[in-house]
Amino acid sequence: MPSKNLGNLGTLRCSGASDRGPTHHDVVNSFPWKSPYILERNQLATVCISETIIDVRHVQCMKLMQEQEEEAEQILSLRGKTVNTTVRDISHLGIVLEQNTTLETEGKFEGTGYSTVTIHMKPDGSSQYEQKGFVTTEKGDLVTIRGRGTGKQVSPTNATWEGEVQFASQVPKLSSLNDNSYRVEGSGDQAEGNFRATIFGSE
């Protein structure tokens, strides 16, 4: 039974392989995906057997990303409306807008508030944004919000974005939100001025 020592990844054994060495099919189906040999996200593992070279980095990264997606839970839904928009700058690098919005949240905490979003729209249709805001919950608790990320124009009046957001609160029951970053995905209708976002994270 041909085998190949992979150092920290252990020994790869391929049953049914020919004397010329295991095939691509043998390697993929024999690699210990469910063993303790889990690759770090940025680690490169290359399996060299005979003349076969297999880069398993991409496959393992996809597996790790899928596991993280499964672990992430929706902790908050957010919706709002743009109150006004100000053009802050125009240049060959794009347009800088500043939008003031209302906010409504449901989930981990429920309340209403306001935010200011600075958007750098680039000539290629992509964008970067930064958000600062706050929400006052139904019980009068204050939660501040900071976020940033990237977006893209998907139609003349619609855009999507993704990024990260941080919360801060002095209320003990919401203190678990502090010092954490959460993934956010959103979309907006610029003609109507409405937007929605979903925030994910592990409790």
pLDDT tens-digit map of 128-178:
999 999 999 999 999 999 999 999 999 999 999 999 999 999 999 999 999
* pTM of the complete model: 0.64
User: Quick one: how many helices (H) and strands (E) in the chain?
Assistant: 2, 12
Percent of the chain with pLDDT over 70: 64
pLDDT tens, position by position, 181-201: 999 999 999 999 999 999 998
Using the predicted structure, report yes or no on whether residue 25 has a pLDDT greater than 60. no
- C-alpha 40/C-alpha 27 separation (Å) is 20
Instruction: Report all structural domains of the chain as residue ranges with CATH numbers, in order of start.
Output: 3-70 (no CATH), 73-201 (2.40.160.20)
Min mean pLDDT across 23-32, 109-118, 171-180 is at 23-32
- C-alpha 144/C-alpha 124 separation (Å) is 32
Q: CA of 116: how far to CAs of 7, 99, 100, 134, in Å?
A: 52, 6, 5, 10
* CA proximity to 143, closest of 71, 78, 72, 187: 78
Q: Pull the structure tokens for residue 39.
A: 């690759």
How high is the pLDDT of residue 4? 45
How high is the pLDDT of residue 179? 87
